[in-house]
Structure 1
Amino acid sequence: MADRGVALDKASSPPPNPATGGVQQATVYRILLAISFVHLFNDSIQSVIPAIFPILKDNLLLTFTQIGWISFAINFTSSIIQPVIGYAADRRPTPILLPIGMCFTFAGVFLLAYASTYALVLLAVILIGLGSATFHPEGMRVAHMAAGMRKGLSQSIFQVGGNAGQSLAPLLTKFIFVPFGQAGAMFFTFVAGAGILVQSYIATWYAGMLKAGYTFKKRAANKTISPARRKSVRNATIVLVVLVFIRSWYGAAISSYYAFYLMDTYRISLENAQIYIFLFLASGAIGTFFGGPLADRYGRRNMIMFSMIGTAPIALILPFVSSFWAGVLLVISGFVLLSSFSVTVVYAQMLHPGNIGTVSGLITGFAFGMGGIGSLVLGNLGDAWGIDHVMIAVGFLPLLGFLAWLLPTDSKLDEWASE
């Protein structure tokens, strides 16, 4: 009876595909929705960290530099561990890591609620970072496996859960941390507990698919890749990681520090400042969902380029507009900036077919970890220059989106995939 779910999926699927080990199911929406909800759980908990920054700053009398170190701790922990887990998962899939990762997250938010020293806060966020690092590679593989032939759609569903979770951070501050303070983090132990249960269900399905013979498509063992092609793939990967790093750096500037800018410049209360951050992140979640279909129509490389360059003029004028127009521009920039979120993942998967976990480690792990370094730098600059000057300076970051011209065209990627 353990393989009943697998059998049902196979019964309604197209004919077996040898490239996937003879098991090619139709798109399994119940699993895609489940892993997307867990992604929402995971990233909403991770978003607790920047959401609680103003509370921690007051409770522990922290500087912007110390806040930057907290952001660095969670992002860099994920960046170190996630590529390693992804690389290992590509060689030996381990479904049990899904609930184990959420256990780390549970421990982290529990400790965060009672952390009375800076050192304990750092330890708590490191545990949350480990949980996130464990989830993403295997979660990405589950989304790929459940997608059937609809890989782009599956990435949109999977990634929109994460970005929707991140968008909740400002509301969490307004409705949980402002009234309850740091102890409000205890609420997220229930979210983590629910995540453990759902992850256990997903892990059972995942293990059943592996037992039934599912394998991830890889290049043929006897197929040789020319040195020129290998160099092109390597260079494209570097450019893609740099672009995601830049996007993450600007996103960190808005999510972690723009609330302070609003409070200092417009004399907006903490509760109302969080609404602005929510608008940016919520529109980003919507952009993530629509980015995949838009890329199918206009091209993956074009979408990646548009998401960065299209954000640039908005980012440049944002610090100089009124509070009303700031809200309007945040909605537009969030949608545009994150419209390439799932697209970059699919693009990277096409560069490295079969290495789903490793790609996840590079794109959602290492690159975002480098964004954590950016957040640390911004914290130091905030103390040295003032947060208003920092927000003006980061407006120039999206201009680096012109680097997307260096990426291979979609037709070139398709040509490589057909060889």
Structure 2
Amino acid sequence: MKNNISTAANQTNTKDKGQRNLQQATIYKILLAVSFVHLFNDSIQAVIPAIFPILKDNLMLSFAQIGWISFALNMTSSVIQPVIGYAADRKPRPILLPLGMCSTFLGVLLLAYANNYILVLFSVMLIGFGSATFHPEGMRVAHMAAGQRKGLSQSIFQVGGNAGQSLGPMLTKWIFIPFGQIGALGFTIVAAAGIAVQTYVARWYREMLDAGYTFHKKSTARAIDPARRKSIRTATIILVFLVFVRSWYGASIGSYYAFYLMDKYQMTLDKAQIYIFMYLAAGAVGTFFGGPLADRFGRRNLILLSMVGTVPFALALPFVNQMWAAILLLIGGFILLSSFSVTVIYAQMLYPGNIGTVSGLITGLAFGLGGIGSLVLGNLIDSIGISKVFIACGFLPLLGFLALLLPRDEKLEEWAAQ
């Protein structure tokens, strides 16, 4: 009998030790794999704004209609992310990883042949749905593979996505200008590669779950006092709003700045795309360094500095020559997007144990609201002109001062530890 008890105790200790090892090990091959899929996913999403000039000419679209396409993509890829994340937090579904990329594959295939506005909207919604399916589970995988290095894992994961987004302008230059809309067909190869990698990641994900991996328990969330619950809710609203503002300003650059350059400087489309690429590429670099910078200067401080620090560059951008525009875009992109991964980590610390839900909220719903901003900007450009709109957009990062209302890092860590 004693031997049986001793054996059971040893098995329990071995299981607990194994669980700790599962949670502490950093699996770089999985982090890199999911980051590459993030690159594939977001480079395909970047096809949509990259093809805007082509669609505008082919289908005789207005800026407002361009805004609706951006809105359809962002709302589909964003608003349902918290829902998928909420479901995944309760029952992980590794199969969603390859299935989401299958939806993206179909969307890109349809986009290449879409010959009317309705088909374009439907195709971008399929691409958006694939993205919405990927992000919550992808972030859970990144969290699972991170071990004790959560900040680094988010930087690796998010830099893949931002690098993919930065490719959009070059896609216009290298693919859509020479080949036209049919050039989107080549991205079915990227989507197929994504399906293959996602199948590998999903298999590892399932093995980890079967081996006993669990995320943080959520029972503590029920025990928090009402005052702290209210503070967390307020911090969440502020954080989502800040990401919304950041996304709105980013939409002004990514979706419309090429048109602004062509209008003000009479640039050719291919040259204008280089400027957008510089902004987004600098943002990808900023995303990677954001985690280490937050470790040094604090998460809240970095969120504040990334927004407010962008203000002088955003305000000056509409009034400078072409050379200074390139310089301001590089500096502004780096600063603004340095908080990209940090906002996700901040939100995850507000709600430990709800990785999918929170990640979907920050990268999903907030970007969906940014899609509304893109729609509004398109209508404003049609109404008052593109120059006035870009002057007004320069004031958006001033709203970053609201980050002063976020709890300090010390308070955040105190809440997360309880």
TM-score by length of 1: 0.95
Maintained 8 Å contact 1:157/1:289: yes
Query: 1:40-64: per-residue Cα shift (whole Å, max 9, x none)?
Result: 0000000100000000000000000
SS in 1 for 2:333: helix
C-alpha displacement of 1:417: 2.0
Maintained 8 Å contact 1:17/1:23: no
C-alpha displacement of 1:18: 7.6
Partner of 2:62: 63
Partner of 1:271: 270
- With 48-57 and 15-24 compared, the bigger mean Cα shift is at 15-24
Partner of 1:339: 338
Partner of 1:357: 356
SS in 1 for 2:314: helix
In structure 2, relative to structure 1, the CA distance for the partners of 1:20 and 1:105 (3 Å cut) is same
Q: Quick one: distance in 2 between partners of 1:366 and 1:328?
A: 31
5+ residue gaps, structure 1: 1-14
Q: Quick one: distance in 1 between partners of 2:184 and 2:306?
A: 33
Query: 1:215-252: per-residue Cα shift (whole Å, max 9, x none)?
Result: 10124459611000000000000000000000000000
C-alpha displacement of 1:162: 0.1
Maintained 8 Å contact 1:239/1:403: yes
C-alpha displacement of 1:263: 0.1
SS in 1 for 2:79: helix
Partner of 2:293: 294
Partner of 2:230: 231
Maintained 8 Å contact 2:218/2:354: no
In structure 2, relative to structure 1, the CA distance for the partners of 1:20 and 1:392 (3 Å cut) is farther
C-alpha displacement of 1:79: 2.2
Partner of 2:129: 130
Amino acid at match of 1:323: Q
Partner of 1:28: 27
In structure 2, relative to structure 1, the CA distance for the partners of 1:179 and 1:413 (3 Å cut) is same
Q: Quick one: distance in 2 between partners of 1:417 and 1:36?
A: 26
Maintained 8 Å contact 2:22/2:147: no
Q: Quick one: distance in 1 between partners of 2:175 and 2:281?
A: 18
What percent of counterpart residues are identical? 74
Output aligned runs, 1:106-125, within 5 Å: 106-125=105-124
Q: Quick one: distance in 2 between partners of 1:350 and 1:367?
A: 18
Partner of 2:11: none
C-alpha displacement of 1:416: 1.2
C-alpha displacement of 1:415: 1.3
Partner of 1:90: 89
Maintained 8 Å contact 2:351/2:416: no
Output aligned runs, 1:175-194, within 5 Å: 175-194=174-193
Q: Quick one: distance in 2 between partners of 1:222 and 1:229?
A: 10
Query: 1:115-167: per-residue Cα shift (whole Å, max 9, x none)?
Result: 00000000000000000000000000000000000000000000000000000
In structure 2, relative to structure 1, the CA distance for the partners of 1:222 and 1:310 (3 Å cut) is closer
SS in 2 for 1:116: coil
Partner of 1:380: 379
Maintained 8 Å contact 1:22/1:214: no
Partner of 1:389: 388
1:174 matched to 2:173? The reply is: yes
Maintained 8 Å contact 1:160/1:288: yes
Maintained 8 Å contact 1:16/1:24: no
Q: Quick one: distance in 2 between partners of 1:41 and 1:223?
A: 38
SS in 2 for 1:336: helix
1:325 matched to 2:324? The reply is: yes
Amino acid at match of 2:271: N
In structure 2, relative to structure 1, the CA distance for the partners of 1:16 and 1:383 (3 Å cut) is farther
Partner of 2:78: 79
| Structure index of larger Rg | 2
Q: Quick one: distance in 2 between partners of 1:39 and 1:203?
A: 14
Partner of 1:195: 194
TM-score by length of 2: 0.95
C-alpha displacement of 1:19: 11
Maintained 8 Å contact 1:288/1:339: yes
SS in 2 for 1:213: coil
Q: Quick one: distance in 2 between partners of 1:273 and 1:16?
A: 57
Amino acid at match of 1:168: L
More helix by share: 2
Partner of 2:142: 143
Partner of 1:102: 101
Amino acid at match of 1:142: V
Amino acid at match of 2:384: W
SS in 2 for 1:24: helix
5+ residue gaps, structure 2: 1-13
Aligned-pair Cα RMSD in Å? 1.4
Q: Quick one: distance in 1 between partners of 2:306 and 2:120?
A: 34
C-alpha displacement of 1:388: 1.0
SS in 1 for 2:148: coil
Query: 1:333-376: per-residue Cα shift (whole Å, max 9, x none)?
Result: 00000000000000000000010100111101000000000000
Maintained 8 Å contact 1:21/1:213: no
- With 191-200 and 78-87 compared, the bigger mean Cα shift is at 78-87
Q: Quick one: distance in 1 between partners of 2:220 and 2:271?
A: 57
Output aligned runs, 1:363-374, within 5 Å: 363-374=362-373
Q: How many positions carry a matched residue from both structures? A: 405
Q: Quick one: distance in 2 between partners of 1:62 and 1:157?
A: 38
